């Protein structure tokens, strides 16, 4: 399912226009981004939790040249599924 299909699904299930569904989805995504950027977590009971993880500096290798390179430390988004989501899949 891509973003357009998700917007259609939301519009049909919530009985709202596609434009309203698109605004709602964009607003939700933006809220998650802002919260994670501040270092917070977003917890949706039954669905899962979005958090920020830290990836430390590490050494890698350029596959083209074989030269050793240093990969900078980074913050990465993480998602941990909730029990209801896990149960729905099994």
**Using 50, 70 and 90 to split pLDDT, how confident is the model at 81?**
very high
Burial environment of residue 35 by CB neighbours within 10 A (0 to 12, 13 to 18, 19 or more): middle
Predicted TM-score (pTM) of the model is 0.79
Residues in contact with 11: Cβ distance below 8 Å, sequence separation at least 6, in sequence order: 17, 18, 20, 21
Token pair listed for 13: 């299930």
pLDDT in tens, 4-63: 999 999 999 999 999 999 999 999 999 999 999 999 999 999 999 999 999 999 999 999
Name the region of 15 (left: φ>0; alpha: ψ -120 to 50; beta: rest).
Answer: left
């Amino acid at each position: 399912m891509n973003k357009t299909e998700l917007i259609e699904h939301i519009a049909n299930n919530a009985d709202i226009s596609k434009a309203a569904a698109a605004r709602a989805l964009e607003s939700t995504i933006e809220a998650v981004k802002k919260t994670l950027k501040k270092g917070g977590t977003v917890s949706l009971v039954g669905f899962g939790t979005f958090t920020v993880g830290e990836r430390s500096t590490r050494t890698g290798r350029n596959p083209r040249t074989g030269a050793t390179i240093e990969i900078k430390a980074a913050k990465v988004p993480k998602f941990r599924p909730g029990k209801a989501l896990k149960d729905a899949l099994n």
